[in-house]
Structure 1
Amino acid sequence: MPAGSSKKRERQYEHIRDSELESGKSEKRAKEIAARTVNKERARHGESKTSSRSSIHDTSSSRRGGQRSHSGSQGPTKEQLYNEAKQRNIHGRSKMNKKELADALGH
């Protein structure tokens, strides 16, 4: 935690770190996730000297609650769709864009 953090942010950091450890993350990864989350919340609430644009304007991590896990914000990438189309032997896949690949695969 950065120097000068409030007791609330320290508790938040510990809670997130412990939660990540319980879900099977390594100590190093759990600390990183907790620090990033707390720093983003500090920036959002004006508690830090510097902050990125995405920290302030993006959906808050507490509200987002895992919406972007696994599939990402826009689903599978074009490359992932192409590889799946290749495995299914879909003809014309090399000339398809992302939407066309998704439609051909039934996504």
Structure 2
Amino acid sequence: MPRGSSPERERQYEHIRDSVLERGTSEKLAEEIAARTVNKERARHGESKTASRSSLQDISSSRRGGLRSHSGAQGPTKEQLYNAARQRNIHGRSTMNKAQLEHALDREGS
């Protein structure tokens, strides 16, 4: 944390770092994520001397986390679906998008 940051930002940093550590991330990465998040919030609230354009114009960290927190598992990736389609020898798989691959695999599996 930068020198002179408020006690509120210190608590925010500790909370974010601890939360990221609980998810199994390394100490170094957890500290980096926490510092970046807190620095972005400081910039958004005018507490830092300089601020990047993305810090000011991008969606806030808390809003982004709120949007992503309830999405749950997104299922297999397109690459995983493509590999499964290749193993089942589904024709036209190279031009299919993720939804089409899922549909083709469901049809093939039935």
TM-score by length of 1: 0.67
- Mapped partners of 1:105, 1:26: distance in 2: 37
1:82 Cα offset (Å): 2.8
List runs of 5+ in structure 2 lacking aligned partners. Answer: none
Paired AA for residue 30 in structure 1: A
Query: CA offset at residue 100 of structure 1?
Result: 4.1
Change (3 A) 1:37 1:84: farther
Q: Classify 1:88/1:36 alpha carbon distance in 2 versus 1 (closer, same or farther; 3 Å).
A: farther
Show the 5 A alignment for 1:27-106.
Answer: 27-48=27-48, 49-53=50-54, 55-65=55-65, 67=68, 79-97=79-97, 100-101=100-101, 103-105=103-105
Between 1:18-27 and 1:91-100, the stretch displaced more is 91-100
For residues 19 and 97 of structure 1, the distance between their equivalents in structure 2, rounded to whole angstroms, comes to 35
Give, as a single letter, the amino acid of the residue that structure 1 aligns with 2:83.
Answer: N
Q: Which amino acid aligns with 2:26?
A: S
Aligned length: 103
Residues 52, 70 of structure 1: CA spacing in aligned structure 2 closer, same or farther, 3 A cutoff?
farther
Percent identity reads 73
Higher helix share: 2
Sort the Cα spacing of 1:103 and 1:61 in 2 relative to 1 into closer, same or farther, 3 A. Answer: farther
Summarize deviations over 1:8-51 as a string: whole Å, max 9, x none: 11111011112222332221121111111111211222222122
Residue 8 of structure 1: aligned partner: 8
CA distance in 2, matches of 1:11, 1:63: 19
Q: Which runs of 5+ in 1 are unaligned?
A: none
Measured in 2, the distance between the counterparts of 1:11 and 1:39 equals 13
